[in-house]
């Protein structure tokens, strides 16, 4: 029997509060000491807070009951949230790269010790937030996106700490814009996978975790099954998957029992929540579609 992954409301709430507090500290210190790296990381954290808020809202919205106009309810909102978050991050990181590149022409001195202190706090904040989403990251695209961003932020904050230490040793002012560009590149790389998965789900593609060939083999391995056709698998949300299929059987006996067992098998093996099976008998001949004469 399919069970939904619990909605991590506490993880969203604490993740937003922790990162909001850290953003205020980063912007304040970054502006005070003129560090574009800290401000860039703060903007990225702001995008994460907004992303967490959108994902949280979509998670709540997906629980609303279906209506006559939306027979699947609002489950697809979680897919839209993942897509919006990915696009927002790409735009934000592009702006950071442009700003940091301009700093190479006119580098400014920074206070390395302060940068190291603030970024060190970021390692703790982002690391703790990432752990809050660790449990659900394998079952929900929104949660995976939150986990990846927070884990990447922790790594980026570590890079800022190292850059601050090198600045204290060498005095190289170009280290700060270089690190800010590194922040953007790391985020762009981690965001690309999220964007690709979100677009695929929005286009009703088969979810990445499901192997269509394996599903076909599972169906055709059942007793009395000759073959299957018109197999369609798509995501209703970032956690719910639907399947429809036509199955050819050698007999019509125990049809209700057969349908129940096959549907349960698909749920157990592939975590497909909504299964619709149409049974046919005899040899299946694919319908030949004539060329449109018009």
Which of the pair, 228 or 170, is modelled with greater confidence?
Answer: 228
Q: CATH 1.20.1510.10 in the chain, residues?
A: 9-202
Q: Which helix (H) or strand (E) holds 9?
A: helix 9-33
Q: CATH 3.30.70.1350 in the chain, residues?
A: 212-281
The yes-or-no verdict on residue 143 having pLDDT over 60 is: yes
Which of the pair, 89 or 223, is modelled with greater confidence?
Answer: 223
| β-pairing verdict for 241-249 and 274-281 | parallel
Average pLDDT of the chain? Answer: 79
Predicted TM-score (pTM) of the model is 0.69
Which of the pair, 258 or 26, is modelled with greater confidence?
Answer: 258
Report for 50-64, 120-134, 186-200, 233-247: range of highest mean pLDDT: 233-247
- Contact partners, residue 126, CB within 8 Å, separation at least 6: 19, 45, 150, 151, 153, 154, 157
pLDDT of residue 49: 82
Pick the CATH number of 9-202 from 1.10.10.10, 1.20.1510.10, 3.40.50.2000, 3.40.50.300: 1.20.1510.10
pLDDT of residue 264: 92
d(CA 125, CA 21): 10
pLDDT of residue 243: 95
pLDDT of residue 277: 92
Architecture of domain 212-281: 2-Layer Sandwich (3.30)
CA dihedral 264, 267, 272, 273 (to 10 degrees): 70
């Amino acid at each position: 029997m399919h069970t939904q992954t619990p909605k991590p409301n506490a993880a969203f709430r604490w993740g937003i509060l922790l990162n909001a507090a850290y953003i205020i500290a980063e912007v304040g210190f970054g502006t005070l000491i003129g560090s574009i790296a800290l401000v860039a990381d703060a903007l990225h954290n702001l995008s994460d807070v907004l992303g967490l808020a959108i994902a949280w809202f979509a998670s709540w919205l997906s629980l609303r009951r279906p209506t006559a106009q939306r027979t699947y309810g609002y489950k697809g909102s979680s897919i839209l949230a993942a897509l919006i978050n990915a696009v927002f991050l790409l735009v934000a990181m592009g702006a950071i790269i442009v700003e940091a590149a301009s700093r190479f022409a006119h580098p400014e001195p920074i206070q390395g010790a302060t940068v190291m202190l603030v970024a060190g706090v970021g390692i703790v904040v982002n690391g703790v937030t990432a752990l809050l989403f660790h449990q659900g990251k394998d079952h929900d695209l929104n949660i995976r996106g939150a986990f990846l961003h927070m884990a990447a932020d922790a790594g980026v904050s570590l890079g800022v700490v190292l850059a601050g230490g090198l600045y204290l040793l060498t005095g190289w002012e170009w280290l700060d814009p270089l690190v800010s560009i590194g922040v953007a590149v790391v985020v762009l790389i981690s965001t690309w996978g999220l964007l690709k998965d979100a677009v695929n789900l929005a286009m009703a593609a088969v979810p990445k975790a499901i192997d269509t060939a394996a599903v076909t083999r599972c169906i055709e391995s059942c007793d009395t099954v000759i073959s299957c056709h018109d197999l369609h698998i798509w995501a209703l949300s970032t956690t719910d998957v639907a399947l429809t299929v036509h199955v050819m059987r050698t007999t019509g006996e125990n049809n209700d029992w057969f349908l129940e067992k096959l549907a349960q098998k698909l749920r157990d093996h592939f975590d497909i929540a909504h299964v619709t099976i149409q049974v046919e008998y005899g040899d299946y001949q694919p319908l030949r579609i004539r060329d449109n004469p018009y």
